[in-house]
Amino acid sequence: MAHAPTKVTVNGPDVSGSYVLAEQRDDGTLVLRPESSDEVIDQFADHVLTEDEFVGSLERLHAAKLREER
């Protein structure tokens, strides 16, 4: 069975958003990549959302779509 990707939220200038752990190197360095819109949809598609989860999912989906359009 495949494991769900590890998600990381970063709050900082020019890098705020949700990321996926893409790689953990031998020296402990973490390589992150922005989550895709498909990953956001998949995360929230299988259960009923609270109001806060719904708003958060829309914000993350919007941010992912903007990144993908660049």
Residue range 12-41, pLDDT digits in tens = 888 888 899 999 999 999 999 999 999 889
Domain count, the chain: 1
Q: Is residue 1 in a domain?
A: no
> Mean pLDDT score of the chain, rounded to an integer?
88
Band (59; pLDDT cuts 50, 70, 90): very high
Task: Please compute the mean of the pLDDT values over residues 44-67 and round it to a whole number.
Answer: 91
Model confidence at 3: pLDDT above 80: no
Residue 2 confidence (pLDDT) above 80: no
Q: Is 2 within a domain?
A: no
If you write DSSP's letter for every residue of 14-62 in order, what string do you get? TT-EEEEEEEE-TTS-EEEEEPPHHHHHHHHTTSPPPHHHHHHHHHHHH
Best CA proximity match to 18, nearest among 49, 50, 47, 57: 57
The beta strands (E) that lie in the chain are given as: 7-10, 17-24, 30-34
Q: Locate 43 and state its tokens.
A: 């995360």
**DSSP code of residue 59:** H
Residue 51 confidence (pLDDT): 96
> Domain limits at 29?
7-69
